Amino acid sequence: MIVLKSQREIDAMKKAGEILAACHKEIAKMVKPGITTWEIEEFVEQFLEKHQAVPQQKGYKGYKYATCASINDEVCHGFPRKDPLKEGDIVTIDMVVNYNGSLADSAWSYPVGKVSEETEHLLKVTKKALYKGIEAAVPGNRIGDIGHAIQTYVEAEGFSVVRDFIGHGIGAVIHEKPDVPHYGLPGKGPRIKEGMVFTIEPMVNIGAYQTKMDANGWTARTIDGKYSAQYEHTIAITKDGVMILTEQDK
């Protein structure tokens, strides 16, 4: 069942999203060769505590960390670690913030120093794919229209869209209905209605879209070892259109 949110609930989630977006802005300043994702993890813990917020991922189904920190060919759910990032890497930091019981979810991919032209193109295409999906998330459209908009754009740019991990509704818990694939056919899936709150979070690969799971049972990586990027926003469908709850550009 899809739970529609009131304007009051959306406003509360927006406050969580503002904290999350502010945290990502600070992370962007930190990412450079030599830093570790463990340092970023510790920063996020301190930042959220300072803002009276809680890292909702920590403890979720046994996950131990405040962030997911996925490097290079890791598609998602990478563990923070103490190995320094290197020039030419990319790192995706994904987190869910709980502020007074309201949640927001956002991931962002960052280049580490100077990256290759191909990697730079991957980052630009993935970020634009997120906004292509958001443009399609209007009342009256269907969830399939979002995935179709993302997939057609990404594949026209020569990349592939991950199938194994998708967007999701969010509210009192991290994962609610509807499921939001980043691929598929237009006109399919649930109708998009006012009051829906969900994530759009395309994961885009340079090579094949298939993934494989690490032995830790959490971290997924590309099957061919090529780079993957991800950008994610939590959005609300309101009477005035789409509201991005985790928007960084203010």
Query: The domain spanning residue 136 has which CATH number?
Result: 3.90.230.10
Rounded distance between C-alpha atoms, residue 100 and residue 145, angstroms: 33
Evaluate whether residue 2 is within a structural domain: no
Evaluate whether residue 250 is within a structural domain: no
Q: 3-class DSSP state for residue 54?
A: strand
Q: 3-class DSSP state for residue 169?
A: strand
Task: Please compute the mean of the pLDDT values over residues 192-219 and round it to a whole number.
Answer: 98
User: Is pLDDT at 249 greater than 90 in this prediction?
Assistant: no
Domain of 224?
7-244
Domain count, the chain: 1
Label residue 164 left, alpha or beta by phi (over 0 means left) and psi (-120 to 50 means alpha).
alpha
pLDDT of residue 231: 98
The amino acid at residue 195 is G
Evaluate whether residue 249 is within a structural domain: no
Nearest partner of 235 among 5, 70, 25, 48, judged by Cα: 5
CB 83 within 8 A of CB 34: no
Give residue-wise pLDDT tens across range 171-184.
989 999 999 999 99
pLDDT of residue 43: 98
pLDDT of residue 244: 98
Evaluate whether residue 179 is within a structural domain: yes
pLDDT of residue 248: 84
Evaluate whether residue 221 is within a structural domain: yes
Residue owning tokens 């869209």 = 161
CB 165 within 8 A of CB 122: no
Largest CA distance in the chain: 48
The amino acid at residue 4 is L
Give residue-wise pLDDT tens across range 96-110.
999 999 999 999 999
Evaluate whether residue 144 is within a structural domain: yes
What pTM did the predictor assign? Answer: 0.97
Evaluate whether residue 56 is within a structural domain: yes
Evaluate whether residue 11 is within a structural domain: yes
